[in-house]
Each structure stands twice: as C-alpha cells, then as structure tokens.
Amino acid sequence: MNVWLALGLVVTAAWALSLLWRRREQTRTETGRKELEELLAIGGEIVPASIHPRIDPIRCIGSGACVYACPEKSVLTVVSGRGTLTNPLGCIGHGACAAACPVQAITLVFGTAKRGLELPQVDPSFQTNQPGVYIVGELGGMGLIRNAVSQGRQAADHIVAGDRRGPGECLDALVVGAGPAGTSATLRLMEAGLRVLLLEREAFGGTITHYPRAKVVMTGALDFPMYGRVSKRKMSKEELVTLWEDIREKTGLRVAVGELVEKIEPAQDRTWLVHSTAGVFRAANVILALGRRGSPRKLGVPGEERGKVVYRVIEPEVFRNQHVLVVGGGNAAVESAFALIDQGECASATISYRKKSFARCRQPVRKRVEREIEVGRLTALMETEVEEILDHQVRLRRSSGDALAIQNDSVVVQIGGTAPTDLLQGIGIEIVTKYGEA
C-alpha cells in the first residue's frame, strides 16, 4: 500500500473519530443545558441529602474528567466549558469526581451557600457532643454503602480503644439500625469481644430490603469485620440481601428485629438508657445507624387513614389486579411505580406529581419513566395534588383548579420523610447547619 494512502486513511479515521467525539460532547452539553432548565423550572435550589461536589468555575478547565469518573454517569455535565452539577439528587456521594479532577476544582460539601443542610455534629470518630453516643451512615449525611460500612467500623474502633464499658449486666454497646453502618459496627464490636446488641425496627439489612427488585447499587469494595472483603463494584438488591444473610450466618450476628427506639436518656453511671417498643436497655455506648427518612411524610388529606394507603412498595405482588396510584415524583416514587408495572401485574399504575416534570429523578430513571409513559404502561398525572381518598376512588386537583377523580384500589405515598430529629434533640445532640461546607 502506498505510504501516502495509508497516512491518508489514518488521518481520515482520526478525523472521523474526532467528529464523533465532538458530536457526543455536544449531545452531553445539550442534555446538561436541558437538565439545568428543568431544575430552574422546579423553583428554588435543590439540596442533596448527602455530601456532593461543589465546582469552582474559575479553576475548572472543562476537562470532563469528573463526568467520566462519576459512577452514576448522569450527575455532572460539562456545560459552556465548565463542569456543572446538573442532577443534584442523583449524586450518591461517591467522591470519585473530586479525585479525578486534574486541577482540584472540586470540593465535597454538604448543603449550598443559600440552603443549608441540618446534620448532627460529630467528631472524626463519629462521636457526638454526648459522650458514648455515635452517629454513622445516612443520618450523618453519608448515604453511600461503602462509606457507611467504613464509618460503622471506625466508630466501633473508637469504642474498642476507649474505656467506656458497661458495669455488671449493662451492655458495652447498643447499635440501632441493621443497615450497612450498623452491621459493620456490630461485627467489629463482636470481634473485639464486647457485649453488644443490634436493634432494627423493620428487617435485617435496613433500607436495603426496601429497594425495588433488581435495583443496582454502587457499592465498591466493602470490608466487613469477621467476614472479609466483598469486592463487587455493583450489586443488585437481591445480591445485597443474600450478602446480608450470608454475613449473619457466617459470623453468628444476632439482631433483634421489630424494635423501634423511642427515647434515649442518660443514666447516673455514665451509661445510657435506650427505650424501645419492647423494653429498656442499658448500654455504655450507643451507635445510631439510622436513615434520614425517619417517619414517612403524610399527605394530610381526608381518607389517608384508610387501609388502602401505604408508604412503600415491599412486595409488588400484593397489588395484583388493582388500580394503584403512586403519589410523588422523586426517585423512590418512580422506582415504586417501576416495581408495580414490572412485578405487580396491576390493573393500572398511575403517578400523581405536583410538578410538571420528573426533574428530581436521576437521568436513567427519568428516561425510563418517559418511555413507560409513552408506551402506555404508566400514566402520569402531572401538576396534580391529592384532595381526598375514597374507598374506590381518589380525587385530585390540577394546578389549573380543575377537579379529577380516578378509579383506585390502593395508594402508595412516596413524598419523603421526616428525619428522627426529635430523638436526637431529646438526647441533647448538637445539630449544625452546613451551608456548602465540608
């Protein structure tokens, strides 16, 4: 082959690849601009519930390294030559973006400059201002499973290295919440030979057990005391549940399920009295590994007390042949709707949302919900709010003021929850508001 011909083919191929790359980047930019417009249309500033990136627009060079490093692939976008957080609620607090930035333009923070995020004050060992009381995991602003597992172990390490021990029959430590943080902490305390009890109000595994079926979660490497290292980068809900059962079987971990902690108060001997629905426990140390959701937020409308109203989808099959309405427009609400249409065999599945778009959802979730609506598997009643829940109907009102009634057998309310602030304030734990701070 002629040398010049070969060189021409190489140049042509390079030019074609460059053109494809530029077109892809233009598509990303347009998508990012659209997402920003949708965020602005929501009104107000959206604040992620966990740690997230703040990008310095002066230092940023628009390399796109943060975009490619993000495991969610839909949180950050290069818009107008600068990295931009275009899907705040899709951020899982991974922190890979900050590590990938070549010019250190990214800082991981809580809240924003205008809207703060209330979090319990903890020291580097996750101990609060109340000696012997620790907060780890989601309640402390860290939602990523890998971070929660690490925090639980670190808090337990601090207890093991310290001198707070339970006198007599008193426990050395009591852990509240059997999710990633609570499980990791309990295993480390068991490993050290301490007397420890793990309480969980719902099911072993915590919020993991309530993920929709087949939901894929970023985990990264997980290091569990007494169990070992789990190296899978991503795991489905089913794989996580299986992992938790394997941990319990192989380590002998015991958990008291169905225990709702209602109050914690100090005793006179530097120990803590933990009041649950089953009794009172005394422990020298308490680790709170709770979620931020706390109690589900309610609609506050007539008929909400009916038995047909629930606040999460655990087993979609119970809704078979029913007309189901999901209320809410965030990731949890939309994924509940997916579970219903995928496994529920419902007569119909409808979403009522007071906004005009699903801009609060992660990009993959938003794309799928648009497809399901387009093909008719899911009905979306946008800019509507529930006014009354009846036996076989739900009455709604559009933003225009028009009334609407739909046939209905069950209502799933997914409009968020209230953090367990009453429990924390009752103990005297200091709460701080983070305004775009680390």
Torsional class of 292: left (φ above 0), alpha (ψ -120 to 50), beta (otherwise): alpha
Cα 111 to Cα 89: distance, rounded to the nearest angstrom: 12
Cα 205 to Cα 397: distance, rounded to the nearest angstrom: 39
Tell me the per-residue pLDDT of 26-66, one tens digit each, with 9 for 90 and over: 666 666 666 666 655 555 556 676 788 889 989 999 888 88
Cα 340 to Cα 317: distance, rounded to the nearest angstrom: 8
Q: How confident is the model at residue 353 (pLDDT cuts 50, 70, 90)?
A: very high
Quick one: pLDDT at residue 101?
92
Alpha carbon distances (Å) from 206 to 132, 142, 170, 177, 309? 23, 15, 26, 7, 22
Cα 11 to Cα 315: distance, rounded to the nearest angstrom: 57
Nearby residues of 58 by Cβ (< 8 Å), 6 or more positions away: none
Quick one: pLDDT at residue 26?
64
Size (the chain), residues: 438
Distance linking the first and last C-alpha atoms of the chain: 60
Q: For residue 99, what is the DSSP state?
A: H
Which region among 130-144, 343-357, 390-404 has the lowest average model confidence (pLDDT)? 130-144
Is 284 in contact with 173 (CB distance < 8 Å)?
yes
Nearby residues of 399 by Cβ (< 8 Å), 6 or more positions away: 354, 383, 384
Mean of all residue pLDDT scores within the chain: 85
Quick one: pLDDT at residue 431?
86
| 117 pLDDT higher than 90 | no
Quick one: pLDDT at residue 235?
82
Nearby residues of 179 by Cβ (< 8 Å), 6 or more positions away: 137, 138, 148, 205, 206, 207, 208, 289, 291
Which region among 17-21, 134-138, 199-203, 313-317 has the lowest average model confidence (pLDDT)? 17-21
Q: For residue 170, what is the DSSP state?
A: -
Q: For residue 293, what is the DSSP state?
A: -
Averaged pLDDT, 234-243: 85
Cα 194 to Cα 324: distance, rounded to the nearest angstrom: 48
What pTM value is reported for the model?
0.71
Quick one: pLDDT at residue 8?
73
Averaged pLDDT, 287-295: 79
Q: What are phi and psi of 127, to 5 degrees?
A: -90, 140
For residue 319, give both structure tokens: 């809704």
Number of H helices, E strands in the chain: 9, 27
Domains and CATH numbers, the chain: 7-109 (3.30.70.20), 118-294+419-434 (3.50.50.60), 307-416 (3.50.50.60)
Tell me the per-residue pLDDT of 410-432, one tens digit each, with 9 for 90 and over: 999 999 876 777 788 888 999 88
Is 187 in contact with 180 (CB distance < 8 Å)?
no
Averaged pLDDT, 251-272: 90
CA 58 to chain centroid: 31
